[in-house]
Structure 1
Amino acid sequence: MASGVILNRGALTFGTYCQHLSWNVTVTQVRGIKRWMRAYTHLMAKKLKLEGPPLPKPRSQKPNWDYHAEVQAFSTRLHENFSLERLKTAFINPCYLQAELKRRQELGMDSEVTALALHDNIELSAQGDAFTKIFLTDWCRASFPSLPTQGVESVVRHLTSVTLVSNVAQNLGVEDLTMSLQFPVPDNVLHSTFMALIGALHDSSGTERTGYFLRDFLVSQLIGKDLFDMWTVVNPMGLLVEELGKRNVPPPEPRLIRSAGSSTVLPLYFVGLYSDKKFLAQGPGETLIAAEEEAARVALRKLYGYTEDRRPIDFSPQPQHEHPLLQTRQSSVAAATGNR
């Protein structure tokens, strides 16, 4: 009996304590999304649908922009020693100068005031384009000596195309520094600007450094690229017969090696090419003609040395003399020792 009374008193005391705590706790409701957010979001979506997305702005029209510092940072980022004046000239396109002169004339400025002390990059672009084609042609002939003239020209044409060069220029941040009438900068303007950069680097650092620059940023675009994606050959079998004739090798003979699913909608044929009872190459195709052409392309890649398992392109860093004074002292000490 006594124990039951004690338990009842304990329960009453605990209930009173909990009730006291509940009086002191204030519960507030918190919403994850405010009520006004729905109307605001609906209004912004309607405005975007009517007006369209905002026009892109160049980096120079945004805050915290220092053109001089950005040009210097561009040279440092590429680890190249550009002449600052030549580098700034390389970014100035003729369309920008014409638009700037027209804008100043519309403001009613005098002819002496409207004159700009700037030069466009036409000369640098022509110089860089000529040097780029010469360097890439020499590099292709040295790396693939068996490749004919048409193949070399096709590879050089691919590496200097507007699409490829403009893509490289965008990845290097050239678009933000280019002075152009339009933004985003058109591909042809980016192409001419990049060639002007090549001309500026050639004037600033010489032929060797410019060659390494082209090797690192343009020649590297050949990685994973097939030869016949750049060089369109209409009749590969005829070209193979011509190349074998130059090497005094009998013409190739196609033979069906194996096939699968010839009676289905997805047949597959493997055709092999033989010359003087020697195996040249094999290629697959959905038809016998397609397989024969693919086998001819494989044989041409082997003849030209442009196979997938060829030796990788050498992208090792150029030799640099980090301690010229130390080398000079060593040479002088060696000369003095020899005189003794």
Structure 2
Amino acid sequence: MKSIYSMAAAVGLGFSVLAAPATAEEDWKLASAKRTPDVGATFDQEFANAVAGASHGLGKIEVQFVGNEQEMVQQVLRGRLDFGVTSPLALAAAMPDIAVLNVPYLWISRKERDFVYSHHLMEPLAAMFEEKGLVLLSVQEAGYNGVFCKMNCSDPVALKGQKTRVSPSASGRMFWESIGTIPVQLPLSDVWPALEQGLVVAGDLPIGFYSTTPGAAVAQHFVYTDHIHSPWLYFVNKRVWDKIPAETQAAIRKAAPTPFSTTDRFLADQDQRAQAFTEKGGTLYKLTDEQRAKWAALVTPNIEKFIGTMSDRVKTVYEAIKKGKTEFAAQR
């Protein structure tokens, strides 16, 4: 897999050629919850620019902000939006099995994660999307979640019995229940007023994204628990894909990027956003190994039981992940 931009361009080109005269220009929508100054918005715009450039004027993609990610996914499924990009946490309502990607404390290193995705996860992920009428185009970086709070919550004891925002992902709910909180499921757009009104006191997101949201002015404590990793998943409505000629589809797949090719840029931006968070009055808590282990000790004993409650496919994918982790360890 090489370039998502060439691949996306081919999508725009392939459909434009089929659906309109050569002089017309197709207007596609790429829906995302990211917006400037979040670096994810930069990646999304690069995707859109690449599609327009490679289509030689036959098509273009406009990035459209959609704050409610669950609704955005539904709009792409219905064909009202053409492309989408989000994390498994937002896809979980439509694709419950994808919660396997957000199992807490799943990866021991970036290299391990990249190896397992490349050798064991891309095929089952593609199948999940296919079953829902979507085509997975690229797997990129959305970072590790930390915990944001309205008070110092560097020790998980501070959150016991508190109401916390949880995404539709079963993995996220398992994490918060293990910590001893009362999870309240909310779409992302409702989190910020819920924090202001005291309906919840905490939640979890990557620092780079969280620092750009209205919540950062209300809940000014952020703990680097790094408990859940999320990829950033680009996808397209399958009806669009199926109209592309087979040879163009083959070229698209050949041109697709290797997984997580945006990670270095993403991590550099995370550091900048973290500093901006502190400059606006926020407090960061970078945990020692012992402190982080205290969080993990509450969660990891529940992981195997959690997997046991999931579908047979989740169990199969989780076993493939464990096999990949074992292969990676053997190589080292």
Q: Greater relative contact order: 1 or 2 (C-alpha under 8 angstroms, separation 6 or more)?
A: 2
* More strand per residue: 2
Larger C-alpha radius of gyration, 1 or 2? 1
* More helix per residue: 1
| TM-score (norm. length: structure 2) | 0.24
